Every structure is written in structure tokens, then in C-alpha cells.
């Protein structure tokens, strides 16, 4: 359980990531998955992180949770309620995991243990952080959580096994498991990607409801811009292990200031477009994480690229208010707005 | 679950029946059951004639099979070349083999699982490399060679320490002086080497299998979820990883046990144990068709029965199948 | 129109296949143990087949010389010593090794061919074809291998070319594993897009199985083949050891070991060398098989960005 004060009583961001760098050693060389990423999220807020596979978004989440594999090197700063997590000894870190900072994963069908009952797995999350509690009490609480997330016949269902649940119900269960200890920060890694579209909406709605009730911060990672637009307050766009653009959702999506964001938006089919007009993909290939392009990682695929882009790394700089962009020519994009 | 078991059991019976027919045909074409008798000048004509009638050799193959089968289902497997009841001979031999196999399986299982799990938890460590290499070496070793090597080693150790502990022939000595301790020690001395042979070979396969199963589980999504909940590493390994990783090996052990009943031929030959293996080789050489036929039926039944057992146990352990 | 689509399709798959193999080869080359095993295997095969040229003696050469060394330990002239008739043991081991390699190779070829066909057909056509083939496979699996080998091999004890009969019988009991594996691959491939594409273009099923499904099974087939080779060698050696396999005067490693067992203590050179050959050879094959398995289907820990 978190401290006596709820998340809302904290001043400033609950979770603050600064200049995070994560590298792995692979048989082919050093993989630079995250190269200097910063973001933050406050109570009651939803921060969306958008990017392709390979952008470093999932690795960043795992770094926050402390769930990276053994060979990973992490540098930079991750502060939760002002306490530094990078370099924190594991026993302390573990106490935060599932308790103050919780995570739900992409594929609910494989994320739960098939041989243990659903209720047990939720009760386990409770027992770990509430050492005195008895098994029966934890199971009762688990059933309550299932009920909270909208599973009918919760107490019966709690004794069932994951294969007896549908995908949507399993994801609800994952959420129940994650919020069982009232975490301040809820991290969701592509929570709806593996689900049907209709179920997606239900899950997102559930997450919103959870946030309204508990006031927790939500870090929502996805590659689906629509999900971000519907749910997030702020968005951070990642590319090749770096932040390309960040700001309020309306600002970033309405007035993109990075060619990558522009490209993403342009490649979406839109209802208000001429049905016969072609989709505009982003040309080129995703960058290699072993040998990322020098300076601006997007420059090989960028239609605005000039010589400086391959020589000088553009830093994330403020454009207007909280809206920031890592592009030398961010201002130029103001003129080139997609229709 | 009950339905699942019943269905598999019902399918098992025709499988055994069909297997017995295939095997009957193989035995029938594999030689003349009267050959040995005929070759022996001391055997009178009447004995050969009696044997011919016993084996219904005048009948066509299908009839012979039918006759044999109708007797077999009542438990009558006929008599062997020297007039002894086949059932008795097989029962005695099976007992000997079981004494050898049960001990070996228990030891091999404990060691194999432990080694496999540790190798997976310490992947790419020295322990992992060494155990993997040794497993490969034992895979590549012919049983008879290993058995003979151990026999040689046992004899040398005996000489070296001037003791007579490692016995290499038979299950027990003909007569042992001293009380029950001496008897047990004698039995143990006879058991060590053959059991060790079987253990080393089974352990190689099982430890590799367990390592693979454990690794697969350790990399599974639900293990990551368990960690994300804040569970201690030990809890994650024991409650989530190990519990799931131990399910597959149970079925493998059951199946291998069924195979071992007929698979100790070589070890028994090298160490002179009068179990199923020796019974087979001796009977084949002697052209003792009834024994061979009954032997093969028992072997096939053991395989099918243990496969069924493996399925049942797996179904019990894995809820996905229990409710399927 | 259909003609051109086929050629394009072929070309497309052709390119895919070539770079796929290069990838596999490079992944294999990274396994130092597997590469070392290939070298060892090469050495063993070469040494075996060089025969007389290498050892300087014939495997059946019984010396008529009165003071020829009998049951002599290894020396400069006889690298593995001599047996009780004075015959050079090294050349006998070579001869036995030649046999074993031949036998193992043929068993691997037969077993994988039969198993692949059964598995590919069963997996691809499914339905009753699959059921029948799989029931047959199950039936064969209930047959206790060594026992039946003994029973059947006994029949051929007296014929010449007993080794060929042994090969056929062992192959006949070794194909089931391959069949299961290939069936599994075929079942999953069946649903893949390129099979649907081939069908959409109008290619006959037979063609799809031969030119699309089977080549993609090649990885697991080759791996299964290496295991079948090792298994085949061990099975033949076991049979020969028991006296049911390759018969004298033909030389086999199992037979040599059988002869060497009683005198393993004093005359170790009769017993250990043939056994060591088998162990080294099968060990090399197993490591190569392991390396191949990893080369065809690497299991990397997932690191998703």
C-alpha cells in the first residue's frame, strides 16, 4: 500500500524520467535501445508514449519497473515521488513493484499462469505487499477486485483458470491484479493491441474509470494514435530510442512539429479525406539499434532533411509552452501543416 | 476428465491388439520355431511333432493368430520349448527387470530434474556447459560399451582396494554367509553397476529435457507478470516457473518407464541378470515362439499403458486439459 | 497470365531460399562446438576410409609368420595392437567404422525420406489421410524397437549382405519421429500465406507439397536426420554386439567390442578403441545436430522495443 497520502497530494510529477539510457549486449554487438529519453507523468494524468517497434518505448517501461534482463545497462534518472530508482537495491525496488508502480502487459492470454486460478494470482499480488493477511482474506479481496473491473459472478470466476476467460476478461483481470494495491502509477504496455476493437474501447473505458476513482497516473504505451487521441492528456513520440516530440495531445496532433509525427499522422486513413487519395507512408526502413544513424535518427527518411541533420544531433527544445520537439526545423513545420 | 480417460483407454485396446498381430506376423516370418529342436540330434521325433501341434504350425497364419489370441485373453500363453508355462517365465523375468528399473528411474529422475533445473537457472554458466557436454557424451555412448566400461572399472576398483564389493554377474551371489546385512550388501553390490549404467543414460536425456522445459517457462510472459507483481525471485521460480516446468517431465518419465521394461536387454546381457532382456535373446536364439510372442505383447502393452498413464497424469496436472 | 505468375513466384521464393541458407550457415558457423564437431567428423571419416593406405595392414590379414605378435599391445607398427590371431586391430576398427558410417548414413536417408513423406502428406492433406497415417505411426511406436530388431535380424543372420537387411529393418523403425516433426511443420505451414497464394494461382496440391512445404521442413528434417544417423549407428552396434547384426567375417564395431569385453581388463586395446570411435562419432553428430537446430530456429530472448 502506498503512503497515507494519495497520489493527488503530491506536488509535481509522480514519475519523472530524465536522460534515460538503456543498452544491451547482443551476439551482434551493443544494442542501444534507449538513448537519452525524458518524460514525466503526474497524478490523474494520462501520458501516452507512441512509437514503432524498435523505438525503445517498451524498454523504457521495463526500465522504470526494473524488469530488464540481466545484461542490460541503465543510466540516467528515474524518480518516483522524488526517490531515485536507478541503482536502488533490489529488495527496495521490489517493494514498489506491483504496489506503488504497477504494470499491465500486452497479451493477456499468455500473461497469466495457466495452472493457477485467476483469483489466486490476484490474491498473490495482495499477499506479497500485505504480509500479515491470510489467504482467505486475500481471496475475498481478489474477488472484490474482479467485481470492480466488471467481471460478472466474481467470486465463482475467481476460482476459475485463465483458459476459461475471454481475451477481454483476461485483460480486465490483469488490470484488477495491477490495481489491487492501489498503485500511484499504472503502466500499460499496449494493453489493447491483442484485443478486438470493440473490447479495446471497453478496456480503455475501464482504465479511465480506474483513474477517476484512484487518481493514479497512467503511462500508456501504444503504436495506435487513435488510442492516444482518445485517452491521453499528453503524448511523447519516440523514435529510435529518442524522444522526437512531446506535448499536450491536442497540440502535438493538431500542430505536429516533428517530421516523424507528421509522417505518422499523414499515414493514417481519415474519414474526412477524399476516398480515392492515396495513403502516404513514411519511406525507408526502421533504423538499426546496433548502428543508429548519426545525429538525428530520422534524417535518412525525412523529407525536410538537410546537411546539418546528419551532423548535429537536434536536442529536445521547447516550441510553445509544454510543446517540445527535437528537430532543427521544427518551426518550418508550422507552415507545412497536413490538411 | 473421466471422459477423456475413457476415450484414451478405449482406443488403447485395439492398438495393443493390432500391435500384437503385427508382431505375430514378424515372429512368424523370422524363422522356424522347430529349427533348434530339429538341429538337436537328441530330440526324439515325437517331441518335435508334439511341439508342432502345440504351436498349430499346420494352420494358416490367421488361424494361428486367432488361436493364440483366444488363449492369450484368458491368460494362457502356452508353454515354452521345454514345457514350462510361459506366463511363469515372463512373470519371473519381469520381476527381475522391475527391480533393476524402478531404482534406476527414481535416482535418474531426481538427479536429472535437479541438474536440468539448475542448468536452466544458471544458463551459460560453467555448470550448464559441463552438464550439457556430459549429457551429450552419454547420449553418444552405446549402452553395452558403457556397461562394459563400468564393469571393467568395478573390477579394477575391487582389485585396487582389495575388496569384493562390485559384483558384475547376476543379481545376487549363489550363497551368502552372514545375516541379512551381508545379504543386503551383496544385493547392493550386484545392483550398483547395472543401475548406474541405466541412471547415467536416462539422466542425460531427462536433464536436457528438463533444462529446455525450465528455460521455456522462465522466458514465459506469466513469469514476467509474476515479477512485475513484486514477488521475490525465489517465489517466482518455485511457485510459477518450477510448478509449470515439472509437468512435461512427468509424462516423459512415464513413457520412458514403459520403454525401459523392454529396453534393458543389453544391460542385463552384460551383467548377467535374468530379466526380460535375457529372456528375449535366449528365446529368440532357441526359436521359442510362445515366449517371444508373449514377451512382445507384454512390451507393447507396457508402452501403451504407460503412455495412457502419462496422458492421465498430464491431464490432471494441467487445468487446460482437465477441463477440455 | 498463370505462367508468368508462377515464374515470378518461383523467382521470389528462390531469392528467399538462397539468403535463408546463407543466414543458416552463418549462424551455424558461430557455434564453435558444432564447427569443431564437423572437423572431428571429417577426420574420423577420412581415417576410416583411408583403410590400408593409412594403417599399412589389411583388416583380414592373418600373419603366417611364426613370431608375429599375437595379442600384442599397441606399438609403432600396430597402432591399436593385435588380436589373438595377430591381425592388426587398427585396420579392423577402420573396417568396422566404414561399415558403421555406411549403415548410419543409409539409415538416416531412408528413415528421413520415409518419415518426411508420411509427415508432409499427413500434415498437409489432414482429414482421414492424416488420421490413418498417424494411427499407423502410433502403431509402429508401440513396437519395442530393439526387441523386434533382434527378432527380425535373427532371420537374416545367415544371409549375405546381412548388413543391408539390418539397415532396412532399423530404418523401418526409425522414421516415426521424423514423421511427427514434419507433420507439425506441415500443419503450421499449411495456413501460411504463401501456400494460400500458391493455391490461389492454381498450383496442384502435389506441387505445393513438394516445392513449398517440404523445402520449408528441410531444417527440422536435416536435424532429425543427424539424430537418426547417430541412433542408427548405435542400434546397429547394439545388434552386432548381441550377435544378431552384422555377422563375421564381416567386421563391425559392435562385434569387435563384443569380442573385446571378456578381456577388457588385460587387453584393453581390443575393447576401448572401437567404443571410443562410436562415442566420438556420435558425439560429433549430436553436436552438429544441436548446432543445426539452433541455426535453423534460433531461440533468442525477446527484447521488444
For A92, counting Cβ atoms within 10 Å of its Cβ (0-12 exposed, 13-18 middle, 19+ buried), the class is exposed
| Structure confidence by residue, pLDDT tens digits, C188-220 | 877 777 777 877 887 787 777 677 767 777 888
In this model, does residue C141 exceed pLDDT 80? yes
CB B271 within 8 A of CB B147: yes
pLDDT at C12: 43
In this model, does residue B80 exceed pLDDT 90? no
Q: For chain A, what are the domain ranges?
A: 15-232, 238-338
pLDDT at C15: 39
CB B189 within 8 A of CB B171: no
Q: Looking at per-residue confidence, does A11 or B101 come out higher?
A: B101
Which distant-in-sequence residues (6+ apart) come within 8 Å of A167 by Cβ? A108, A109, A194, A195, A196, A199
Q: Which helix (H) or strand (E) holds C233?
A: helix C214-242
Distance from CA of C305 to the nearest CA of A (A): 4
CB C42 within 8 A of CB C284: no
Quick check: helix, strand or coil at residue A24? strand
Q: A113 and chain B: CB distance < 8 Å anywhere?
A: yes
pLDDT at A112: 93
What does the pLDDT average to over B45-59? 75
Mutation site for A-interface testing, chosen from B215, B222, B230, B250 by largest number of A Cβ within 10 Å: B230
The cell for A207 is 482504465
**Residue A246 phi, psi dihedral angles, 5° rounding:** -150, 150
Q: B291 and chain C: CB distance < 8 Å anywhere?
A: no
- pTM as predicted: 0.82
Which ranges in chain A belong to alpha helices (H)?
A: 57-65, 90-96, 108-111, 118-129, 135-148, 154-157, 167-179, 197-214, 225-231, 249-254, 259-266
Percent of chain A predicted with pLDDT > 90: 55
Length of chain C: 305
Cα–Cα dist B100/B271, whole Å: 11
Percent of chain A predicted with pLDDT > 70: 96
Lowest mean pLDDT among A86-90, B39-43, B231-235, C25-29: B39-43
The cell for A135 is 489467504
- The beta-carbon neighbor of B136 closest among C142, C150, C283 is C283
CA torsion angle A162 A167 A171 A173 (round to 10): -30
Cα–Cα dist B152/B143, whole Å: 14
Q: C1 and chain A: CB distance < 8 Å anywhere?
A: no
pLDDT at A204: 92
pLDDT at C219: 81
Cα–Cα dist C259/C253, whole Å: 10
In this model, does residue C10 exceed pLDDT 90? no
Of the segments A15-24, A272-281, B254-263, B298-307, which one has the largest average pLDDT value? A15-24
C105-130 burial, b if ≥16 CB within 10 A, otherwise e? bbbbbbbbebbbbbbbbbbbeeeeeb
- The beta-carbon neighbor of B228 closest among A67, A107, A115 is A67
In this model, does residue A188 exceed pLDDT 80? yes
CB contact under 8 A, B296 and C148: yes
Cα–Cα dist A184/A10, whole Å: 10
- The beta-carbon neighbor of A53 closest among C30, C301, C304 is C304
Q: A25 and chain B: CB distance < 8 Å anywhere?
A: no
- The beta-carbon neighbor of B232 closest among A67, A94, A116 is A94
Cα distances (Å, whole numbers) of residue C107 to C102, C145, C170, C227, C293: 9, 14, 7, 11, 20
Q: A193 and chain C: CB distance < 8 Å anywhere?
A: no
Cα–Cα dist B322/C7, whole Å: 50
Which fold would CATH assign to domain C20-59+74-296? MetI-like fold (1.10.3720)
pLDDT at B1: 63
* Chain B residues touching C265 at Cβ < 8 A: 152, 155-156
In this model, does residue A145 exceed pLDDT 90? yes
The mean predicted confidence, pLDDT, of chain B is 84
Sheet containing A46-50: give its strands across. Answer: A101-104, A185-189, A217-222, A46-50, A234-239, A242-248, A323-325, A317-320
From its phi and psi, is residue B174 left (phi > 0), alpha (psi between -120 and 50) or beta?
alpha
Location of C-alpha cell 504350425? B57
Q: For chain C, what are the domain ranges?
A: 20-59+74-296
Cα distances (Å, whole numbers) of residue C78 to C50, C63, C72, C73, C305: 16, 13, 9, 8, 64
Mutation site for C-interface testing, chosen from A20, A27, A193 by largest number of C Cβ within 10 Å: A27
Q: Which helix (H) or strand (E) holds A325?
A: strand A323-325
pLDDT at A61: 93
pLDDT at C268: 82
pLDDT at C298: 65
| Structure confidence by residue, pLDDT tens digits, C241-275 | 888 877 777 888 888 888 888 777 778 888 888 99
Cβ neighbour number for residue A26 with a 10 Å cutoff: 14
Q: Looking at per-residue confidence, does B161 or A236 come out higher?
A: A236
Distance from CA of C287 to the nearest CA of A (A): 20
CB B154 within 8 A of CB B191: no
Give the residue from B202, B311, B206 showing the smallest Cα distance to B260: B202
In this model, does residue A192 exceed pLDDT 60? yes
Lowest mean pLDDT among A152-166, A305-319, C35-49, C259-273: C259-273
Res. C14 pLDDT band, cuts 50 70 90? very low
Q: B292 and chain C: CB distance < 8 Å anywhere?
A: yes
pLDDT at A6: 62
Res. C19 pLDDT band, cuts 50 70 90? low
pLDDT at A94: 92
pLDDT at C160: 66
| Structure confidence by residue, pLDDT tens digits, B121-175 | 998 889 999 999 999 999 888 888 898 888 888 888 888 887 777 777 777 766 6
CB contact under 8 A, A59 and C30: no
The cell for A181 is 494495491
Which distant-in-sequence residues (6+ apart) come within 8 Å of B146 by Cβ? B138, B197, B200, B201
In this model, does residue B304 exceed pLDDT 90? no
Q: C302 and chain A: CB distance < 8 Å anywhere?
A: no
Which distant-in-sequence residues (6+ apart) come within 8 Å of C85 by Cβ? C62, C70
ipTM at complex level: 0.86
| Structure confidence by residue, pLDDT tens digits, A48-65 | 999 888 788 989 999 999
Q: Which residues pair with A324 in a beta bridge?
A: A246, A318
Q: C304 and chain A: CB distance < 8 Å anywhere?
A: yes
In this model, does residue C181 exceed pLDDT 80? yes
Q: Looking at per-residue confidence, does A75 or C8 come out higher?
A: A75
Which ranges in C30-88 belong to alpha helices (H)?
A: 32-50, 52-55
Which fold would CATH assign to domain A15-232? Rossmann fold (3.40.50)
Res. A190 pLDDT band, cuts 50 70 90? very high
Cβ-Cβ contacts under 8 Å between A and B: the total is 76
Distance from CA of A129 to the nearest CA of B (A): 8
Res. C280 pLDDT band, cuts 50 70 90? very high
In this model, does residue B238 exceed pLDDT 50? yes
> CA neighbours within 13 Å on the CB side: how many for B194?
32
Using DSSP bridges, classify how beta strands A185-189 and A101-104 pair: parallel, antiparallel or unpaired: parallel
From its phi and psi, is residue A81 left (phi > 0), alpha (psi between -120 and 50) or beta?
left
pLDDT at B69: 82
Quick check: helix, strand or coil at residue C228? helix
| Structure confidence by residue, pLDDT tens digits, C77-126 | 778 888 777 888 888 888 889 989 999 999 999 999 999 889 888 888 87
Cα distances (Å, whole numbers) of residue A268 to A285, A338, B96, B135, C36: 18, 11, 75, 55, 53
In this model, does residue C40 exceed pLDDT 90? yes
CB C192 within 8 A of CB C215: no
Q: Looking at per-residue confidence, does C1 or B104 come out higher?
A: B104
Q: Looking at per-residue confidence, does A338 or A259 come out higher?
A: A259
* Chain B residues touching A98 at Cβ < 8 A: 228-231
In this model, does residue B21 exceed pLDDT 60? yes
Give the residue from A298, A320, A324 showing the smallest Cα distance to A309: A298
Lowest mean pLDDT among A235-239, B214-218, B278-282: B278-282
Cα–Cα dist B168/B148, whole Å: 10
In this model, does residue A279 exceed pLDDT 90? no
| Chains interfacing with C (3 or more CB pairs < 8 Å) | A, B
What does the pLDDT average to over A84-101? 92
* Chain B residues touching C237 at Cβ < 8 A: 142, 144
Using DSSP bridges, classify how beta strands A73-80 and A15-26 pair: parallel, antiparallel or unpaired: antiparallel
Give the residue from A81, A80, A85, A62 showing the smallest Cα distance to A72: A62
Percent of chain B predicted with pLDDT > 90: 20
Q: C84 and chain B: CB distance < 8 Å anywhere?
A: no
Res. A8 pLDDT band, cuts 50 70 90? low
Cα–Cα dist A225/A253, whole Å: 9
Res. A187 pLDDT band, cuts 50 70 90? very high
Angle at CA of residue C182, ends C177 and C184, nearest 5°: 100
In this model, does residue A339 exceed pLDDT 60? no
Cα distances (Å, whole numbers) of residue B130 to B60, B125, B133, B137, C283: 58, 9, 5, 11, 14
pLDDT at C299: 56
The cell for C218 is 528441410
CB contact under 8 A, A56 and C305: yes
Res. C159 pLDDT band, cuts 50 70 90? low
CB A56 within 8 A of CB A20: no
**Residue A114 phi, psi dihedral angles, 5° rounding:** -70, -20
The mean predicted confidence, pLDDT, of chain A is 88
What does the pLDDT average to over A257-266? 89
Res. B176 pLDDT band, cuts 50 70 90? low
Location of C-alpha cell 551381508? B182
Percent of chain C predicted with pLDDT > 90: 15
Distance from CA of B220 to the nearest CA of A (A): 8
Cβ neighbour number for residue A194 with a 10 Å cutoff: 18
Q: C141 and chain B: CB distance < 8 Å anywhere?
A: yes
- The beta-carbon neighbor of B228 closest among A103, A107, A114 is A103
Res. A146 pLDDT band, cuts 50 70 90? very high
Res. C1 pLDDT band, cuts 50 70 90? very low
pLDDT at B83: 75
Amino acid at each position: 500500500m502506498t503512503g497515507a497520502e494519495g497520489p493527488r497530494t503530491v506536488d509535481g510529477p509522480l514519475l519523472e524520467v530524465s536522460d534515460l539510457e538503456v543498452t544491451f549486449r547482443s551476439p551482434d554487438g551493443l544494442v542501444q535501445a534507449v538513448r537519452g529519453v525524458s518524460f514525466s507523468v503526474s497524478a490523474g494524468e494520462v501520458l501516452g508514449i507512441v512509437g514503432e517497434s524498435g523505438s525503445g518505448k517498451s524498454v523504457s517501461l521495463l526500465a522504470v519497473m526494473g524488469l530488464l534482463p540481466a545484461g542490460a545497462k541503465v543510466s540516467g534518472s528515474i524518480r518516483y515521488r522524488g526517490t531515485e530508482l536507478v541503482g536502488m537495491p533490489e529488495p527496495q525496488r521490489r517493494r514498489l513493484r506491483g504496489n506503488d508502480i504497477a504494470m499491465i502487459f500486452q497479451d493477456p492470454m499468455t500473461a497469466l499462469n495457466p495452472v493457477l486460478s485467476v483469483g489466486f494470482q490476484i490474491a498473490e499480488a495482495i499477499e506479497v505487499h500485505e504480509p500479515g493477511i491470510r489467504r482467505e482474506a486475500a481471496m475475498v479481496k481478489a474477488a472484490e477486485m474482479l467485481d470492480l473491473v466488471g467481471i460478472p459472478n466474481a467470486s465463482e470466476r475467481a476460482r476459475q483458470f485463465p483458459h476459461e476467460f475471454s481475451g477481454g476478461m483476461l485483460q480486465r483481470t490483469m488490470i484488477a491484479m495491477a490495481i489491487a494495491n492501489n498503485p500511484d502509477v499504472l503502466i500499460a504496455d499496449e494493453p489493447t493491441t491483442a484485443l478486438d476493437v470493440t473490447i479495446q474501447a471497453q478496456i480503455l473505458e475501464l482504465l479511465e474509470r480506474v483513474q477517476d476513482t484512484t487518481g493514479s497516473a497512467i503511462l500508456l504505451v501504444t503504436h495506435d494514435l487513435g488510442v492516444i487521441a482518445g485517452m491521453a492528456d499528453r503524448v511523447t513520440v519516440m523514435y529510435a530510442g529518442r524522444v522526437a516530440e512531446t506535448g499536450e495531445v491536442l497540440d502535438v496532433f493538431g500542430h505536429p512539429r516533428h517530421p516523424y509525427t507528421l509522417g505518422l499522422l499523414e499515414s493514417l486513413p481519415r474519414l474526412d479525406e477524399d476516398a480515392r487519395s492515396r495513403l502516404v507512408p513514411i519511406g525507408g526502413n526502421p533504423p538499426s539499434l546496433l548502428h543508429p544513424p548519426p545525429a538525428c535518427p530520422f534524417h535518412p527518411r525525412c523529407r525536410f532533411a538537410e546537411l546539418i541533420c546528419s551532423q548535429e544531433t537536434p536536442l529536445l527544445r521547447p516550441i510553445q509552452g509544454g510543446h517540445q520537439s527535437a528537430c532543427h526545423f521544427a518551426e518550418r513545420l508550422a507552415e507545412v501543416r497536413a490538411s | 476428465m473421466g471422459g477423456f480417460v475413457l476415450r484414451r483407454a478405449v482406443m488403447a485396446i485395439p492398438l495393443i491388439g493390432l500391435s500384437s498381430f503385427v508382431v505375430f506376423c514378424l515372429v512368424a516370418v523370422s524363422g522356424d520355431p522347430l529349427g533348434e529342436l530339429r538341429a538337436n540330434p537328441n530330440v526324439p521325433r515325437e517331441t518335435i511333432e508334439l511341439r508342432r501341434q502345440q504351436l498349430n504350425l499346420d494352420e494358416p497364419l490367421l488361424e494361428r493368430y486367432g488361436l493364440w489370441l483366444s488363449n492369450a485373453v484368458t491368460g494362457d500363453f502356452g508353454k515354452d520349448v521345454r514345457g514350462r508355462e510361459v506366463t511363469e517365465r515372463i512373470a519371473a523375468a519381469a520381476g527381475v527387470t522391475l527391480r533393476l528399473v524402478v531404482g534406476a528411474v527414481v535416482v535418474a529422475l531426481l538427479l536429472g530434474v535437479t541438474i536440468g533445473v539448475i542448468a536452466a537457472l544458471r544458463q551459460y554458466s560453467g555448470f550448464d556447459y559441463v552438464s550439457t557436454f556430459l549429457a551429450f557424451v552419454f547420449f553418444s555412448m552405446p549402452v553395452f560399451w558403457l556397461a562394459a566400461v563400468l564393469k571393467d572399472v568395478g573390477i579394477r576398483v575391487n582389485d585396487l582396494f582389495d575388496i569384493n564389493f562390485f559384483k558384475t554377474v547376476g543379481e545376487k551371489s549363489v550363497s551368502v554367509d552372514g545375516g541379512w546385512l551381508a545379504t543386503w550388501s551383496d544385493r547392493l553390490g550386484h545392483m550398483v553397476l547395472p543401475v548406474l549404467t541405466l541412471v547415467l543414460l536416462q539422466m542425460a536425456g531427462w536433464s536436457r529435457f528438463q533444462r529446455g522445459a525450465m528455460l521455456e517457462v522462465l522466458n514465459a510472459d506469466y513469469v514476467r507478470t509474476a515479477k512485475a507483481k513484486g514477488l521475490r525471485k525465489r517465489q517466482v521460480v518455485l511457485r510459477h516457473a518450477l510448478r509449470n516446468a515439472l509437468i512435461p517431465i512427468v509424462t516423459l518419465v512415464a513413457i520412458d518407464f514403459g520403454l525401459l521394461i523392454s529396453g534393458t536387454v543389453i544391460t542385463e546381457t552384460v551383467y548377467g541378470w535374468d530379466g526380460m532382456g535375457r529372456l528375449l535373446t535366449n528365446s529368440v536364439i532357441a526359436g521359442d515362439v510362445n515366449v517371444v510372442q508373449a514377451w512382445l505383447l507384454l512390451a507393447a502393452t507396457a508402452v501403451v499403458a504407460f503412455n495412457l498413464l502419462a496422458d492421465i497424469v498430464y491431464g490432471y496436472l494441467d487445468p487446460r486439459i482437465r477441463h477440455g | 497470365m498463370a505462367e508468368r505468375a508462377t515464374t515470378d513466384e518461383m523467382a521470389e521464393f528462390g531469392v528467399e531460399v538462397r539468403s535463408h541458407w546463407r543466414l543458416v550457415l552463418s549462424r551455424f558457423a558461430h557455434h564453435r562446438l558444432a564447427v569443431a564437431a564437423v572437423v572431428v567428423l571429417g577426420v574420423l571419416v577420412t581415417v576410416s576410409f583411408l583403410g590400408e593406405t593409412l594403417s599399412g595392414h589389411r583388416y583380414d590379414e592373418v600373419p603366417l609368420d611364426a613370431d608375429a605378435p599375437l595379442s600384442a599391445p599397441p606399438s609403432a607398427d600396430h597402432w591399436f595392437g593385435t588380436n589373438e590371431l595377430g591381425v592388426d586391430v587398427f585396420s579392423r576398427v577402420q573396417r568396422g567404422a566404414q561399415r558403421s558410417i555406411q549403415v548410419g548414413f543409409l539409415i538416416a536417408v531412408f528413415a528421413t525420406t520415409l518419415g518426411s513423406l508420411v509427415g508432409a502428406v499427413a500434415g498437409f492433406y489432414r482429414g482421414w489421410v492424416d488420421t490413418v497415417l498417424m494411427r499407423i505411426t502410433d502403431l509402429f511406436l508401440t513396437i519395442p524397437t530393439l526387441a523386434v530388431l533382434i527378432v527380425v535380424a535373427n532371420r537374416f543372420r545367415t544371409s549375405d549382405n546381412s548388413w543391408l537387411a539390418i539397415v532396412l529393418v532399423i530404418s523401418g523403425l526409425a522414421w516415426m519421429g521424423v514423421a511427427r516433426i514434419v507433420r507439425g511443420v506441415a500443419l503450421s505451414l499449411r495456413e501460411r500465406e504463401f501456400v494460400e497464394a500458391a493455391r490461389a494461382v492454381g498450383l496442384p496440391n502435389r506441387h505445393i507439397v513438394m516445392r513449398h512445404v517440404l523445402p520449408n521442413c528441410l531444417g527440422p528434417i536435416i536435424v532429425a536426420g543427424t539424430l537418426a544417423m547417430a541412433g542408427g549407428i548405435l542400434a546397429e552396434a547394439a545388434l552386432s554386439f548381441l550377435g544378431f547384426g552384422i555377422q563375421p567375417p564381416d567386421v563391425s564395431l559392435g562385434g569387435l567390442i563384443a569380442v573385446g569385453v571378456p578381456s577388457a581388463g588385460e587387453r584393453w586395446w581390443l575393447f576401448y578403441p572401437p567404443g571410443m570411435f562410436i562415442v566420438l562419432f556420435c558425439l560429433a553428430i549430436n553436436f552438429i545436430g544441436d548446432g543445426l537446430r539452433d541455426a535453423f530456429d534460433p531461440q533468442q530472448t525477446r527484447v521488444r522495443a
